[in-house]
């Protein structure tokens, strides 16, 4: 399924970007986590809202992966 592959790819990219981001800051509330609480991912970052990095760092990091 293409959508499933795209979602997995996006999740992998979120993880890789978060691992390389010097401003990564894990959200402080367990109910906010989209993934496992132990997983480093943009989806678990306090600067990531509505699929957008509020610090505008995502695109800069992602293009260098």
Average pLDDT, the chain: 83
pLDDT in the model for residue 17: 96
d(CA 49, CA 51): 5
Query: What does the longest C-alpha to C-alpha distance in the chain come to?
Result: 34
Q: Please spell the DSSP secondary structure of 18-39, one letter per residue.
A: HHH-TT--B-S-GGG-SS-TTS
Please tell me the pTM assigned to this model: 0.76
Binned at pLDDT 50, 70 and 90, residue 4 comes out as low
Residues 43 and 35: beta-carbon distance below 8 Å = yes
Greater pLDDT, 42 or 31? 42
User: Is 80 exceeded by the pLDDT of residue 16?
Assistant: yes
Greater pLDDT, 17 or 29? 17
pLDDT more than 70, % of the chain? 71
């Amino acid at each position: 399924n293409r959508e499933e592959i795209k979602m997995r790819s996006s999740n992998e990219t979120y993880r890789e970007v978060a691992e390389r981001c010097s401003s990564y800051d894990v959200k402080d509330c367990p109910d906010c986590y989209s993934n496992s609480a132990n997983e480093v991912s943009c989806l678990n970052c306090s600067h990531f809202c509505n699929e957008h990095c509020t610090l505008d760092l995502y695109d800069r990091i992602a293009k260098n992966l």
